[in-house]
A and B are shown apart, each in its own frame.
Chain A
Amino acid sequence: MQSETVQTGNFSWLRTIIIGRNPRLTAVRLVVIVALILVLRAYVLLPIQVDGPSMLPNYREHSINVVNRLAYLRHEPQRGDVVAIRFSGKSIMLMKRVVGVPGDTVEFVNGKLMINGRHVDEPYVKSGCSWDFRPPHWQLGDDEYYVVGDNRAMPYEDHKQGAAKRERIVGKVML
C-alpha cells in the first residue's frame, strides 16, 4: 500500500513537469508554439544545408544556415549580401554573394572583381583567382543582381554565377 502511494507521488511529479499544473493551458501553449514554428518556417525563416564548395571558406559544406525571407521587404539586396536563389522552387537553392546591383557592369580582370570599371575590394575572398571575364556592352537590367560564390579558386567554367532576377532571390542568409 505504501509503495502504491509513493508511485502515485512520483507520477504526479512527473506529470507536473511534462504537462504542467494546468493541462489545458499547456495544450494551448503547445498549439501556439507549433503554429508559430510552422508560420515562421513557411514565411520567415527557411533552414538550409550548405552543399557544394562554391562559398568556401566562409560557408563550409554540410553546415546549417537560415534564410531570412523578410530581409528584403523594406530594401533591395545590397552588394556583399549572401542570398539564397531559387530554381523552380525552394527544395534546392543556390547560395551566392551579391556583387552587382541593377545598372552595374561586372567584370573579372586578372581575377579581380571590377564593378562599373572600378576594382572592388572583396575581404571575404580568401583564395587567389585567375578569372578573366570581360563581356562587352553588358549591363545588369533593372531587376537583375550579379551573384557569385566566394571560392574563386574554382575554375570559372565550373563556378555557377551570373545575373539573377530579383524574383528569384528568396532571402538573405543570416549566419
Chain B
Amino acid sequence: MKIAIRVALLAALIGGGIWVWMYFHPSPEEAIRRRLAQLAEEVSFKSDEGMVAKAMHAQKLAGFFAREVSLTIDLPEISSHESMSRDEINKFALALRSSPYFRSLKVQCLDPVITLGADRKSAIVELTIRAETAGDKYLVVQEMKFTMKEVDGEWLILRVETVKTLNRAPTPRRSDDPALA
C-alpha cells in the first residue's frame, strides 16, 4: 500500500512538473492560442469603461499587430484591401470603443486552426470570430485567416483576411446579365 501511495505521489509530482514546465514554456501553438485569447479580451469592452481605460486598451490592442498590417476583406457587402499602421489601429480601436453605436462588445476567437511555418516562427491561423454587442445577438460570426510571426518572443499579426465559408456567385454586372441587358 505504501508503495502504491509513493508511486501515485511520484506520478502526481511528475505530472505537476510537466504542467508547470509547459505553462512557462508553451509550444508555439499554445503561445498563439493564448495570444488570441488575450486579443479577444483586448477587443472586448464593457459600457462602463472610462476614457483612460479606453485609451489604454486601444494602445494595448495595437501591440498585437505588426508595424504595418495588411487587411483583405472580401465579403458580399464589402471588398477592400489596405494596409494599416499600428497608430491607425490604435485610433480605430479608440473610435470603436467611443462609438455611441457600440455600448459594449464581446469578442471570442473560436476554433483556431494553426499551421506553423517550417521555421516555427511564422504561422497561418484560421479561426472564427464571434462578436456580439449588448442587445444584438451575433452581430458578427466571421471566419478569418491571420498570418502571424514571432518577433522578440511575441506573436504579432502581419496579415488579416476574411475567409468565405460559403462562396456566393459574383453579383452580375449589368452588362454581364442578359436579364438586365
- Could you tell me which A residues sit within 8 Å of B by CB distance? 51-52, 85, 87-92, 94, 106, 133-136, 138, 144, 147, 157, 160-165, 168
Least CB distance, A110 to chain B, in whole angstroms: 11
**Which residues of A have CB within 8 Å of B167?**
144, 162-165
Closest partner residue, chain B, to A161 (CB atom): B166
Question: When the two chains form the complex, which single residue of B143, B169, B172, B176 contacts A87, counting CB atoms closer than 8 Å?
Answer: B143
Chain A residues with CB under 8 A of B166 = 85, 94, 147, 160-164
Q: Return chain B residues, CB-CB under 8 Å to A89.
A: 110-113, 128
Looking at A89, A138, A165, which has the most chain B CB atoms within 10 Å of its CB?
Answer: A89
- The residue in chain B whose Cβ has the minimal distance to the Cβ of A133 is B169
CA distance A136 to B110 in the complex (A): 36
Could you say which residues of chain B place their CB within 8 Å of the CB of A94? Answer: 165-166
A135 in contact with B128 (CB, 8 Å): no
Chain B residues with Cβ below 8 Å from A91 are: 110-111, 128
B179 nearest CB across to chain A (Å): 5
Q: Which residues of A contact B112 (CB under 8 A)?
A: 88-89
Q: Is the CB of B110 within 8 A of A161?
A: no
Give chain A nearest CB distance to B180 CB in angstroms.
9
Q: How far is the CB of A94 from chain B (nearest CB, A)?
A: 7
Q: Which of A92, A135, A168 is B172 in contact with, Cβ under 8 Å?
A: A135
A144 neighbours in B (Cβ, 8 Å): 167
Bound state CA distance, A134 and B166, in angstroms?
17
Please determine whether B128 and A92 come into contact, CB atoms closer than 8 angstroms.
yes
Cα A151 to Cα B130 in complex, Å, equals 23
Best-surrounded residue of B77, B163, B167, B177 (most CB of chain A within 10 A)? B167
Asked whether, in the complex, the Cβ of A88 is within 8 Å of the Cβ of B110, the reply is yes
Q: Is the CB of B165 within 8 A of A85?
A: yes
Q: How far is the CA of A168 from the CA of B77 in the complex (A)?
A: 23
A-B contact pairs, 8 of them (CB 8 A): A87-B165, A88-B126, A94-B165, A135-B172, A136-B172, A160-B166, A162-B166, A168-B165
Pairs of residues from A and B, 5 with the lowest C-beta to C-beta distance, nearest first: A89-B111, A162-B166, A135-B169, A87-B128, A162-B168
Decide: B77 and A88 in contact? CB cutoff 8 A. no
- Cα of A90 to Cα of B110 in the assembled complex, Å: 9
Q: Are B178 and A157 in contact (CB under 8 A)?
A: no
Please name all residues of chain A whose beta carbon is closer than 8 Å to the beta carbon of B138 when the two chains form the complex: 51-52
Find chain A residues with CB under 8 A from B128 CB.
Answer: 87-89, 91-92
Given A157-B76, A162-B168, A90-B179 contact (CB < 8 Å): no
Give bound CA distance, A138 to B143, whole Å.
24
How distant is A101 from chain B, measured CB to nearest CB, in Å? 15
Residue of A87, A89, A91, A106 with most chain B CB atoms under a 10 A cut-off: A87
Report A151 CB to chain B, min CB distance, Å. 15
Structural contact, A92 and B110, CB atoms closer than 8 A: yes
Task: Give per-residue flags for B102-117: 1 if the beta carbon is below 8 A from chain A beta carbons, else 0.
Answer: 0000000011110000
Q: State whether the Cβ of B137 lies closer than 8 Å to any Cβ in chain A.
A: yes
- Docked pose: A88 CA to B143 CA in angstroms: 7
Query: What is the CB-to-nearest-CB distance from A139 to chain B, in angstroms, rounded to a whole number?
Result: 10
Q: Is B39 an interface residue (CB 8 A)?
A: no
User: Is B50 close to A, CB under 8 A?
Assistant: no
